[in-house]
Structure 1
């Protein structure tokens, strides 16, 4: 997989990922950009121990530009964009408005106390452009194109985990204005966090409880149970299974696990990598058919859950995908108990959701 590195006008890194046999790309950013100041910090909530990122400088980020002003399209016909090339397959670039950055302009004193823990927002945020085609989506990719995205995710997971201060790498996609997406171009993001995220910390804790009680790995047992019961399995291959979790939080939520437990993307075998694009593309296309042919594309969030860079060997790599649409024309809003107490109430039985996702198979 050829990978070409370039530098944008303000000093940010841009990477091109191409199929084997492709010549290295060239990029010359002609925009008059100045280096930006990154002012984020992370603060620990003393009541829960969770870290919260404070990034007020992001208020000025690009917001719903028209299609002919999309910053993630290739640079063509004299219009300069974030991608200074006439075309590309997969492009990864440092976010121009990052929540976390390695070059922080914040200076903090030595006044940390148990109730006031604050640190520089050190980390990295990257944008992953899945294709140069503005009106496309991940579901429209070919298996070879989806494999190239998987390879890019893997490459970035390995590189970002080695950065000083990085504890966890999270590759994810938000699709749809209902989710809060502000750029319509098909893309995802990668966050390199300077802490272990709360959901991951809870999963590691539960894995420890399960190990102490049974002597086995929680995620291996969870996958085996779902495959044996079969009621909530949506589709399965030789190396991967997609299923609706027993206690799904969202109306339509699917988790996809490799059959062999690995901690992160870098540990997948070639056979597992080869099969994943077909499984994932079929799942995405089914999501778009859940609510009927007259409905707009289904908004969703999909993210890779990986073990932290320096701990959490019990955690199993998997991707979690869900939509906030609960039925045609209606969204699942996080109301008081969900937003205020993180106590979810699901409007669709997980078994019914799985059955519907099997019904809309091609």
Structure 2
């Protein structure tokens, strides 16, 4: 793998990750770009004890452009994009419309009980391929390994940034999910706090350890592998299963068989084994209803400074599609109370996913 660092016209960093050591990455961004926006403001909700980012500049971000105006495709003569090179394997760059950044502005207090502070952090875009009409499920095992190396490289770098408390790698896929760019890509958020979901998981893991002395995630994995009913696919190093209490109509978790706090803790064999299993699962999702499956794919890694002894890196993949022509909308119970109701038994979802022919 070769990693090349450069800058875009407005000073944002861009990183190329290439399978070939002789890839030429000297192209320069010639665009005349506006100044970078100030970082969002964080407002504290005393009722939920959670932080909310207010980022008004994101209202102006690019929204579903035609293919010949895609900002994630390689640059071409007369059509400069976010990626100056005429081709690339994997490219990572700072988001032009970030939820968090280090470009600070003024942050007056708003009164009441809500504290305000700068949204310090970083948001990056990860382009999985230069092919506009491709998808993650179509990537070769070597390309998936390269994407994983990019995730690891950026996780380590962002974790070292002042003020960053958690790094989150994820992909949103499909217009039903609310994507703004259809080009195959994901994102990385470097948060200035530990997210609510992670606090919940680590709290459960801590209480489980106090009760049993065991590792909650390892115990969940062992129980699912023993039950086997909800396992979708597995290999020597990873198991993909539908969780017993799945919230979403289609939900699959991928666990490595060895617990590590972050992606950088995976050894070469574990990294290589991830791609074939994950892309198989993605193809099963696409084959479930005969239409491309919209999904969120979310890596759970340990926070930078807390709970690292409790965390267990794994991927959670879920979709809002419950039938070929039906979506699950988060209505009153889910949105207002956080109380999920799943229309499809997890065992049925697992059975149907195993039955999909992927060859």
Q: TM-score, normalised by structure 2?
A: 0.97
Pairing 1:337-352 to 2, within 5 Å after superposition: 337-352=333-348
- Could you tell me how far apart the structure 2 residues matched to 1:191 and 1:259 are? 26
Cα distance, 1:205 vs. partner?
Answer: 0.5
Aligned residue in 1 for 2:210: 212
Q: Which of 199, 202, 216 is residue 201 of structure 1 equivalent to?
A: 199
Cα distance, 1:43 vs. partner?
Answer: 1.3
Call closer, same or farther: CA 1:332–1:71 in 2, change over 3 Å.
Answer: same
Which SS does the other structure have where 1:65 is aligned? coil
Aligned residue in 2 for 1:302: 297
Aligned residue in 1 for 2:311: 315
Cα distance, 1:112 vs. partner?
Answer: 8.4
- Could you tell me how far apart the structure 2 residues matched to 1:161 and 1:21 are? 27
Cα distance, 1:177 vs. partner?
Answer: 0.5
Which SS does the other structure have where 1:75 is aligned? coil
The 8 Å contact of residues 39 and 103 in structure 2, kept in 1 or not, is answered as no
- The one-character-per-residue Cα deviations of 1:18-52 (angstroms, maximum 9, x if unpaired) are 01533451130000113222241111110111111
Unaligned runs of 5+ in 2: none
Q: Which of 323, 339, 349 is residue 327 of structure 1 equivalent to?
A: 323
Q: Which of 167, 170, 190 is residue 169 of structure 1 equivalent to?
A: 167
The 8 Å contact of residues 39 and 120 in structure 2, kept in 1 or not, is answered as no
Aligned residue in 2 for 1:42: 42
Pairing 1:1-362 to 2, within 5 Å after superposition: 1-108=1-108, 115-292=113-290, 295=291, 297-312=292-307, 313-362=309-358
- Could you tell me how far apart the structure 1 residues matched to 2:158 and 2:22 are? 25
Q: CA RMSD in A?
A: 1.3
- Could you tell me how far apart the structure 1 residues matched to 2:93 and 2:18 are? 15
- The one-character-per-residue Cα deviations of 1:163-190 (angstroms, maximum 9, x if unpaired) are 0000000000000010000101110000
- The one-character-per-residue Cα deviations of 1:142-200 (angstroms, maximum 9, x if unpaired) are 11111110110011111000000000000000000100001011100000000000000
- Could you tell me how far apart the structure 2 residues matched to 1:50 and 1:255 are? 26
Q: Extract structure 1 runs of 4+ deviating beyond 4 A.
A: none
Which SS does the other structure have where 2:176 is aligned? helix
Q: TM-score, normalised by structure 1?
A: 0.96
- The one-character-per-residue Cα deviations of 1:195-242 (angstroms, maximum 9, x if unpaired) are 000000000100111011101111111110000110100011101000
